[in-house]
Structure 1
Amino acid sequence: MVLPEPSAIVGIQLVPMAPVSAYLGTDAAGGGDQIGKLVEAAAPAGFDIPFGDYLLMYSSLAGREQAGEALAAARALPTATIDDGNSRSYLLAYIMANAS
């Protein structure tokens, strides 16, 4: 039996990360603590993994500090890691919108 990647378990639930996904950062959705736990479980060794770009977008919803960290990680993310349904420009714009 093949077990799914932890990043795929969380990441597939995030697609698509549209502006309306901001509700995922609210207290009603678990807030920053929930985001931190899920991202740590899904990407313990970094974001160069399947759905790593979506996990970075999700982590940016946890607060300005987390958005700043996500932005730095997103800039360093290899192009091959970015999902075909996403782009680096959208990834960066989404995170920057949460960092301001």
Structure 2
Amino acid sequence: MIKNITYTITKSRRRRNLGVQVSNDGSVLVSAPSFLNQKEINAYLLEQEDWIESQLTIIEKRKKEEAEFIKENAFYYLGDGYEKAYIKALKKRVLKLELQE
């Protein structure tokens, strides 16, 4: 473990290089060839520690911003009242408009 970052290691006989993946939920997956020992994997993770931490900070920032809702005043359309609610969708860079009665 590197600086309180937990990770999952998967080893494969077919894999020839070492790889690190940080998923959207914040989990870190290390894919390694079966011939590498734990000491070599830990040395590689120490080299990649700054990158892993930067990716985890980006994911945390994204999670906070995705939860933002911007509500505005109600408006009328064809005699029915609606409330506007905007949801920020950062991954697609699109604003989604939900209409609520």
TM-score of Structure 1 vs Structure 2, range by shorter chain: under 0.3
**Structure with the higher fraction of residues in strand conformation:** 2
- Structure 1 or 2, whichever has the larger Rg, is 2
Q: Scaled by the length of structure 1, what TM-score is found?
A: 0.26
- Higher RCO (CA 8 Å, separation ≥ 6 residues): 1
Q: Scaled by the length of structure 2, what TM-score is found?
A: 0.26
